[in-house]
Amino acid sequence: MAGYNVAPLSRLVEQFERLPGIGSKTAQRLAYFVLNMPKAQAQEFSRAIIDAHEKIRRCEVCCNFSDEELCPVCRSDRRDSTTVCVVETPRDAVAIEGTGEYRGVYHVLHGVISPLNGIGPDQLTVKELLARLNTGEVTEVIMATNPTVEGEATAMYLSRLLKPLGIRTTRLAYGIPVGGDLEYADDITLARALEGRSEL
């Protein structure tokens, strides 16, 4: 169908189609929406894409996205820098920030160890993590990788690496999601919830 559109429009549709979870119908809808935007708004959108690429770099401490040398969390003096939460992606850090419960700092791996995809510790920010931990300030590392095979393997790998440093290594709790239904929980989650039960 895109073939019928005039060239500049097809190109915009194609750009939207490249985005994850956007099919050809949605891409069409978005492209037409952008076309019908006031020109100033379209320019703003276009600019935001370039700006994000040009102005965002990695925080020199935690490797999260940042627009300065240090990210907002690392440069804040209200955060507890003795606790480091290790996450796979910046979005995971955003999710944890969303709880409003975490006062420590982060370390963003930018991926997980995945031999099948050719991703080893060297492709992640493991070196940076070790450098940070060697300063002796950190007392606890919370592994908050995803509960997938690769996420778990990465957490295991890192915890083994940290053992000699004598730093406490913890992991997020597994269990039934709040508001979830026992009946619909999968076996493994249920088994983990039993295993991790606590006193009432």
CB of 132 within 8 A of CB of 84? yes
CB 12 within 8 A of CB 31: yes
Query: In whole angstroms, how close is the CB of 58 to its own copies at the nearest point?
Result: 11
Residue 128 CB-half CA count within 13 A: 17
Q: Which of 23, 51, 82, 165 binds its own copies (CB under 8 A)?
A: 51
> Residue count at the site for its own copies (CB under 8 A)?
56
Query: Cα–Cα distance between 100 and 107 in angstroms, integer?
Result: 17
Nearer to its own copies, 105 or 162 (CB): 105
CA–CA distance, 88 with 145 (Å, rounded to integer): 6
Give the DSSP per-residue string, 4-72. Answer: GS-HHHHHHHHHHHTSTT--HHHHHHHHHHHHHS-HHHHHHHHHHHHHHHHH-EE-TTT--EESSSS-H
Nearer to its own copies, 33 or 177 (CB): 33
For its own copies, the binding residues in 107-136 under the rule CB under 8 A are none
44 binds its own copies (CB under 8 A): yes
User: Which residue, 53 or 78, has its beta carbon nearer to its own copies?
Assistant: 53
Residue number, 111 or 167, with CB nearest to its own copies: 111
Q: Establish if 12 lies at the interface with its own copies (CB under 8 A).
A: yes
Site mask for its own copies (CB under 8 A), range 13-32, x = bound: -xx--xxxxx---x-xxxxx
Residue 56 interacts with its own copies (CB under 8 A): yes or no: yes
Find the binding residues for its own copies in span 57-76 (CB under 8 A). Answer: 65-67, 71-72
Specify the 3-state DSSP secondary structure of 141: strand
Helix (H) or strand (E) holding 147: none
Query: Which parts of 69-108 interact with its own copies (CB under 8 A)?
Result: 71-72, 89-91, 93-95, 97-98
Residue of 46, 76, 139, 148 that binds its own copies (CB under 8 A): 46
